[in-house]
Structures are given as C-alpha cells and as structure tokens.
Amino acid sequence: MARDYAKEYSASRTPERRRANIMRKRARRLMIKRHGEAAVNGKEVDHNNLNPTDNRPSNLSIKSKSANRRKQPRHK
C-alpha cells in the first residue's frame, strides 16, 4: 500500500502541532540567550516534563540528541 503524503502533510500542519513547533523554537532561542550558542550547538533543548509549551527555565535543559530521544514516548 502506498503512502498518502498529502494526508501526512495535512496531519502535521494542525494548529496544535504548529504551536508546539513554535514553542520548541522559542525554547531553543531562550537557551541560546542564556547559555550561549556554543553550548547549544549540535545538541537539543529538552523539556523535562515533555510539554513543549512549558518554557520555564527550570523545565529546560540541554541534552545530546540520543539522550533526549531516549526519554521521548514512542509513537504508534
């Protein structure tokens, strides 16, 4: 069965997903401002409580890609 790319694209552009993406980018900018670009370069900003809209400094940390992806829930 062939993939329906149009359906996948429209599913990824819901208002909730767009807001979450905006908030992830905002978190990255906050961490660059706080720790400098060298500290964040090549790494990911982790939301400790897995809520991308919660950009409190106490909820954000800098982790390697592998460490951050390990704690993410699996999508079905």
Token pair in block for residue 56:
């409190």
Confidence of residue 76 (pLDDT cuts 50, 70, 90): low
State which H helix or E strand residue 61 sits in: strand 60-63
Q: What is the pLDDT of residue 74?
A: 72
pTM of the model: 0.78
Q: What is the pLDDT of residue 54?
A: 94
Q: Among residues of the chain, what percentage have pLDDT more than 90? A: 72
Reduce the DSSP state of residue 31 to 3 states and report it: helix
Domain-by-domain residue ranges, the chain?
Answer: 5-70
Angle at 30 between CA 75 and CA 33, to 5 degrees: 140
Question: Do 20 and 53 touch, CB atoms closer than 8 A?
Answer: yes
Mean pLDDT computed over every residue of the chain: 91
